[in-house]
Amino acid sequence: MLYHNSLYFNSEKTENVPREILGKNRSSVKLAVAKIRTGEVPLYPDFTYVSEILEKGDLLIFNDSLMLPSSLWAKEISSGKECRIHIGQPTGKDKFLAEIRPRSDFRNISNETQFSILGTEIIGSVLERNREFPRYVEMTFSNLNEDMQKFLIKKGSPIFYEGITTAFDYTYYKNVFQTKPGSSEYPSASRPFNDEILSVLTKKGIQMSTITLHCNLASLERMEFQNSNVLLPEFYNVGNETVERVENAVASEKRVIAVGTTVARAIVSSCNGGILKSSSGITKLKIGSDTDIYPLSGIITGVHDPDSSHNDLLSAFTGDQMTMPLNAMTSAFKLGGHEFGDSVAII
């Protein structure tokens, strides 16, 4: 068994563990590649092979949003039950989307339910359920005398779900290019890129640029989002420099590759009439197999659950005919999912 603080893992099932804890490099994850032109789906033993599947002039676009430690330990005042409050994106002045975990204990909480944030004098109050996705609630916090971001950095911990018993150290959730705090959950697609890989890619002539998209909460199940035409609102920004680099790549017939589903949502949200424009705002865009993803021609991302909205997004790149064999390969080769798992490239 492998131990980390109060955590324990089966040594044969460590796909959702930071590779550094296992004494490895963060690029020590498998890389499955779906080749759109040929239909081939080869598997590479580690992420360093990404340099072999990219070509001179390709443009990689990264998300520069940094995850905030957005989980707060709390106690329901009326019952005394302890819980975790996952803080999502703002929904208005001094209001935030939130989810109370574990769901088994707090699935049916009512409006005006109050929680004390452990170790503070702050009281969180439920205002109402989110209309689009009632799994979530909207909350306000009294006695919060500073910006929520600053408070989370001091008192919060990274959001975690089933599979581990506590969050890992915050340093494991910081990737290359991520300099703008704001995401509630981890934009993890760029995690395997380290300085050595970036150096190799730069020498090969691979171009790089960034967008910003602050990830909202991400625990929806298929039955919750499949009948909706939108996803949770997220702030995004696509700047002039990235637009210019995309235009140059397209004009040179080079590939434009999103590093993560968040990048895909930001870029497609910024397209107007087939033209990418510099823009900033809130997107609720839900991408599926029938979505026009111009100017993107590929994506590098993590391994997603077949029932997730992320996986639906991948079908916009592959079409259903390739999504199925990719899912089959994920299962056959036991590729690890979640934040610290293996990677998939669709090019």
| The token pair that represents 161 in the structure block | 């779900």
| The token pair that represents 142 in the structure block | 């009294």
pLDDT for res 67:
98
CB 85 within 8 A of CB 139: yes
Determine if the pTM surpasses 0.85. yes
Say whether both 263 and 341 belong to one domain. yes
Q: What are the counts of helices (DSSP H) followed by strands (DSSP E) for the chain?
A: 9, 21
For residue 227, what is the domain's CATH number? 3.40.1780.10
Say whether both 314 and 219 belong to one domain. yes
Say whether both 75 and 128 belong to one domain. yes
Say whether both 185 and 112 belong to one domain. no
In a domain, 162, yes or no: no
If 0-12 CB within 10 Å is exposed, 13-18 middle and 19+ buried, where does residue 70 land? Answer: buried
Single out the residue in 155, 184, 212 at which a domain terminates. 155
Say whether both 88 and 115 belong to one domain. yes
Single out the residue in 103, 131, 155 at which a domain terminates. 155
For residue 138, what is the domain's CATH number? 2.40.10.240
C-alpha span between 20 and 311 (Å, rounded): 27
C-alpha span between 335 and 32 (Å, rounded): 9
In a domain, 281, yes or no: yes
Cβ neighbours for 244, distance < 8 A, ≥ 6 positions apart: none
Say whether both 113 and 6 belong to one domain. no
For residue 30, what are the domain limits?
2-67+168-346
pLDDT for res 225:
85
C-alpha span between 331 and 207 (Å, rounded): 32
Q: Name the amino acid, one letter, at 94.
A: D
pLDDT for res 162:
63
State the number of CA atoms in the 13 A half-sphere of 215 facing the CB. 27
Say whether both 111 and 41 belong to one domain. no
Count how many domains the chain has: 2
CB 15 within 8 A of CB 337: yes
pLDDT for res 231:
94
Cβ neighbours for 253, distance < 8 A, ≥ 6 positions apart: none
Cβ neighbours for 274, distance < 8 A, ≥ 6 positions apart: 292, 294
| The token pair that represents 136 in the structure block | 């979530």
Tens digits of pLDDT across the chain (347 residues)? 233 333 333 333 445 789 999 999 999 999 999 888 887 888 999 999 999 999 999 999 999 999 999 999 999 999 999 999 999 999 999 999 999 999 889 989 999 999 999 999 999 999 999 999 999 999 999 999 999 999 999 999 999 876 666 678 999 999 999 999 999 999 999 999 999 999 999 999 999 999 999 999 988 888 888 888 999 999 999 999 999 999 999 999 999 999 999 999 999 999 988 899 999 999 999 998 899 999 999 999 998 777 677 778 888 988 765 555 666 667 777 788 878 999 999 99
Query: Strand runs (DSSP E) across 165-302, as ranges?
Result: 180-183, 207-213, 234-238, 256-259, 271-272, 275-276, 279-283, 298-302
pLDDT for res 60:
98
CB 235 within 8 A of CB 34: no
Cβ neighbours for 38, distance < 8 A, ≥ 6 positions apart: none
Say whether both 133 and 242 belong to one domain. no
SS3 per-residue string spanning 214-242: CCCCCCCCHHHHCCCCCCCCEEEEECHHH
Say whether both 46 and 81 belong to one domain. no
CB 172 within 8 A of CB 321: no
In a domain, 278, yes or no: yes
In a domain, 35, yes or no: yes
Say whether both 193 and 100 belong to one domain. no
Phi first, then psi: what are they for 141, rounded to 5°? -130, 115
In a domain, 161, yes or no: no
Say whether both 141 and 121 belong to one domain. yes
Phi first, then psi: what are they for 134, rounded to 5°? -65, -5
Task: Tell me, rounded to whole angstroms, the distance of Cα 271 from its chain centroid.
Answer: 21
Neighbours of 203 (CB within 10 A): 9
Say whether both 131 and 210 belong to one domain. no
| The token pair that represents 206 in the structure block | 């691979």
